[in-house]
Chain A
Amino acid sequence: MSASELYQRIVLEHSRAPHHFGALAAPTHRAEGANPLCGDTLHVELRVVDGCVAEIAFRGEACAIAKATASMLGEAAARLDADGIAQLEARFARVIGGDLERDDTLGDLNALAALANYPSRRKCALLPFATLRAALAGTAKTTTEGEHR
């Protein structure tokens, strides 16, 4: 297991210049997610049209893994409704949990498969998902407590 497996180029690119970061002009949903393990906080704003994500923007201080995941999730979540995002998260959780090598529907998010070897860092990648899920559910605040150990 080498460091470059987790911190591979695509992950570093997304974390250095994350896509879908900033603020939306007219968000319909928003939430704040915290990772109590490390103190990181991520905010998300959404514009939801007909139950589907039309626009998404994250912001906040977070590690490279959380930022890269948020950036990739911004792409993957486009046009999905809450069910679609829940399915995406379930597939992602299987890949980073080591139960599935990769899933073609995840796109760039497959780059985080090396998290299978870093159980203590999985919460970092699940933070953007939990925050997005909270926003769609109309929950203002969430944490990754109780997610994967």
Chain B
Amino acid sequence: MSTQASRGDIAAFDVARIRAGFPILSRQVHGKPLVYFDNANTSQKPIEVIDAVDRFYRETNANVARAVHSLGEAATSAYEGARDKIARFINAPTRDEVIFTSGTTQAMNTVAYSYALPRLQPGDEILVTTMEHHANIVPWQLVAARTGAKVIAAPITQSGELIVEEFIARLNPRVKLAGVTHVSNVLGTINPIRELAKACRARGIPLLVDGSQAAPHLAIDVQALGCDFYALTGHKLYGPTGTGVLWARKELLAEMPPFFGGGEMIRTVSFDGTTFADAPHKFEAGTPNIAGFVGLGAAIDYVNRIGLDTIGAIEGELAAYMSDALKSVPGLRLFGEAKDKAAVFSFLIDGVHAHDLATLLDHEGVAVRSGHHCAHPLMQFYGVPATARASLAFYNTREEIDAFIAAIAKVRKLLA
């Protein structure tokens, strides 16, 4: 999928300069330097993204695809330019397969209501896995409840890996859609999407991939992956909140009725009936988050400039360091030890509740998430109500990991 970054790329990587490009990373929290380890929740934004949004509102703001005046042309060109950038970023065969949404959740719901709902019959099944985020469970349950279909899940191992043969064994003729996360938001597990897509394709079952956690860390090539739908969110990819993407093969989009109706998605409207625009506009009713997508375009430019190979290599080194550091903490239980995993670390410490840990780490300047991570079934699988989660990005450093481990020691002393 991606070529390895050369040693030169990593050696040339100047983390201090990178960090200087993220204004928020220089702030303090409770008088301590911010250590931002909540990147799987949302990433921080480089100045290029902040400036692009700011500049759009100062210089270009107008509605898109409506106005013929200069600002309207410039706004439309910037917004549609972002679509070209994303199409190249995920290697979509055509830009018309790239639908802008408010995030992964809206992308999933678009597939649920426009693709699944009209097709599902009583007894049909939608196959997901135990490690899915609620966004890849609840939309299917909602359409299943309306059609008499049901949602089934393929199991995972204790180390947090999907049991591929169990997934494939569940691909029976009743399954009308499969949904799998590319990278688990809790465990960091990277799922073997190509293998799963091949099995789905052989049985004529479309595969949807939740790429929320993958897009910031791995090079995405939807054609090489062989999936049918791919969803991602902009705010984890260093872009603004309220931006997301649904990619789908154009044959599927052509068959799908619109999910939302309104302006911008029509060809002609009369009270006798309405004809719809082609994809992607068919799925983009109303005024979109124009400035947000201009910002997302800037985020894609930024990531391309750093290079996903370099990002992957830097995060891989940080992950190895983090993994060793966590093993030195007495009473620490790590959730998710897949062979192929991203820099996401969910854990619990004996005698310390995840919420108390997160509150007390915050006092040391360290931001981590605590809770169920919108993955109740996975928490039930491990038999815990909540975990703490530290998730890294390429702008994090070994010194920050040291500060985090020192902060954990302080918390243990207080609570455990």
Q: A100-125 interface mask toward B, CB cutoff 8 Å, 1 = contact, 0 = none?
A: 00000000000000000010010010
Given the complex, which residues of A lie within 8 Å of B359, measured CB to CB?
A: 3, 6, 118, 121
Q: B385–A7 contact, CB under 8 A?
A: no
Which of B371, B372, B379, B415 contacts A7 (CB under 8 A)?
A: B415
Q: B385–A41 contact, CB under 8 A?
A: yes
Given the complex, which residues of B lie within 8 Å of A40, measured CB to CB?
A: 355, 385-386
Q: B65-98 interface mask toward A, CB cutoff 8 Å, 1 = contact, 0 = none?
A: 0000000000000000000000000000000000
Q: A38–B356 contact, CB under 8 A?
A: no
Identify the closest chain A residue to B416 (Cβ): A16
Q: B350-380 interface mask toward A, CB cutoff 8 Å, 1 = contact, 0 = none?
A: 0001111001100100000011100010010
Count how many chain A residues have C-beta atoms less than 8 Å from C-beta atoms of the other chain.
19
Minimum Cβ distance to chain A for residue B254 (Å): 40
Q: Does A1 contact B (CB under 8 A)?
A: yes
A2 to B359 CA separation, bound complex (whole angstroms): 11
Q: A1-15 interface mask toward B, CB cutoff 8 Å, 1 = contact, 0 = none?
A: 111001100001000
Count how many chain B residues have C-beta atoms less than 8 Å from C-beta atoms of the other chain.
17
Q: Does A146 contact B (CB under 8 A)?
A: no
Minimum Cβ distance to chain A for residue B404 (Å): 16
A7 to B360 CA separation, bound complex (whole angstroms): 9
Known pairs A1-B30, A3-B360, A61-B385; A38 contacts B414 (CB<8 A): no
9-residue interface stretch from A24-32, A62-70, A86-94, A130-138: A62-70
Minimum Cβ distance to chain B for residue A145 (Å): 14
A121 to B360 CA separation, bound complex (whole angstroms): 12
Q: A37–B356 contact, CB under 8 A?
A: no
Which of B30, B363, B370, B415 contacts A38 (CB under 8 A)?
A: B370
Q: A64–B371 contact, CB under 8 A?
A: no
Identify the closest chain B residue to A118 (Cβ): B359
Given the complex, which residues of A lie within 8 Å of B371, measured CB to CB?
A: 37-39
Besides the known contacts A12-B414, A38-B371, A39-B376, 20 further A-B residue pairs in the complex with CB atoms under 8 A apart: A3-B360, A3-B363, A3-B414, A6-B359, A7-B414, A12-B415, A38-B354, A38-B370, A38-B385, A39-B371, A40-B355, A40-B385, A41-B385, A62-B353, A63-B354, A63-B355, A63-B356, A64-B356, A65-B355, A118-B359
Which A positions have Cβ atoms within 8 angstroms of B? 1-3, 6-7, 12, 37-41, 61-65, 118, 121, 124
